[in-house]
Structure 1
Amino acid sequence: MSRLRVYARIARVLIVVTLGLTMAGVFGVFERIGLAHSMERRQRWSRFFMARLGNALPFRMTVHGELPKQPMLWVSNHVSWTDIPLLGMLTPLSFLSKAEVRTWPVAGWLAAKAGSLFIRRGSGDSQLIRKQMTRHLQTAHPLLMFPEGTTTDGRSLRTFHGRLLSAAIDSEVMLQPVAIRYLRDGEIDALAPFIGDDDLLSHLMRLFSNDCGDVEVHLLQPIACQGRERAALAFEAQQAVQKVLFGEVAKPAEPRRTGELIAA
Structure 2
Amino acid sequence: MIRVRRLARVTRVLLVVLAGLLMASAVAALERLKLGGSMAMRQRCSRWFMARLSNALPFRITVIGERPDRPMLWVCNHVSWTDIPLLGRLMPLSFLSKAEVRTWPVAGWLAHKAGTLFIRRGAGDSRLVQRQMTQHLQQGSPLLIFPEGTTTDGRSLRTFHGRLLGSAIEAGVDLQPVAIQYLRNGQPDTLAPFIGDDDLLSHIRRLLSHEQGEVHVHLLKPIASAGQDRAVLALQARQAVQLALFGAEPVEAPVMTPVSPSSARAA
TM bracket (short chain): over 0.9
Shift of 1:255: 4.9
Aligned equivalents of 1:254 and 1:38: distance in 2?
A: 40
**Equivalent AA in structure 2 for residue 195 of structure 1:** I
Query: Structure 2 vs 1, CA of residues 253 and 225 (structure 1 numbering), >3 Å: closer, same or farther?
Result: closer
- In the TM superposition, what is the alpha-carbon distance from 1:128 to its structure 2 partner? 1.0
Alignment check: 8 A CA contact 1:42 1:115 kept: yes
Distance 1:225 1:10, change over 3 A: same
Say if 1:64 and 1:219, in contact at 8 Å, map to a contact too.
Answer: yes
Indicate if the aligned counterparts of 1:242 and 1:250 stay in contact, CA closer than 8 A. Answer: no
The separation in 1 between residues aligned to 2:9 and 2:193, in whole angstroms, is 19
Residue identity in the other structure for 1:131: R
Aligned to 1:178, the other structure's residue is in SS state strand
Per-residue CA distance 1:177-218 (angstroms, 9 max, x = gap): 000000000000000000111111211121111110000000
Residue-by-residue CA offset, 1:92-150 (whole Å, 9 max, x unaligned): 00001111111111111000100111111111111111111011101111000000000
Root-mean-square deviation (CA), in Å?
Answer: 1.5
SS of structure 2 residue aligned to 1:61: strand
Match of 1:16 in 2: 16
TM-score normalised by length of structure 2: 0.93
2:258 counterpart of 1:245 = no
CA contact 1:148–1:159 (8 Å) conserved in 2: yes
Give how far 1:2 is off. 2.4
Q: CA deviation at 1:254?
A: 7.1
Share of identical aligned residues, percent? 67
Q: Spell out the pairing of 1:100-115 with structure 2 (5 A cutoff).
A: 100-115=100-115
Q: Look up the SS of the partner of 1:5 in the other structure.
A: helix
Structure 1 counterpart of 2:132:
132
In structure 1, distance between residues paired with 2:80 and 2:250: 22
Residue number in structure 2 paired with 1:76 = 76
Runs of 4+ in 1 over 4 A off after TM superposition: 253-257
The Cα of 1:36 is off from its aligned counterpart by: 4.1
Ranges in structure 1 where 5+ consecutive residues have no aligned partner: 258-264
CA contact (8 A) 1:240 1:249 kept: no
Identify the residue that residue 56 of structure 1 maps to in structure 2.
56
Q: Structure 1 residues 250 and 94, CA, compared in 2 at 3 Å: closer, same or farther?
A: farther
SS class of match (2:18): helix
Aligned length: 257
Structure 1 letter corresponding to 2:41: R
User: Which residue of structure 2 lines up, in the alignment, with residue 260 of structure 1?
Assistant: none
- Aligned AA (2:123): S
Residues 256/44 of structure 1: CA separation in 2 closer, same or farther (3 Å cut):
closer
CA–CA distance in structure 1, aligned partners of residues 35 and 181 of structure 2? 40
d(CA) in 1 for partners of 2:151, 2:20: 24
In 2 relative to 1, CA 254–236 (structure 1 residues): closer, same or farther, beyond 3 Å?
closer
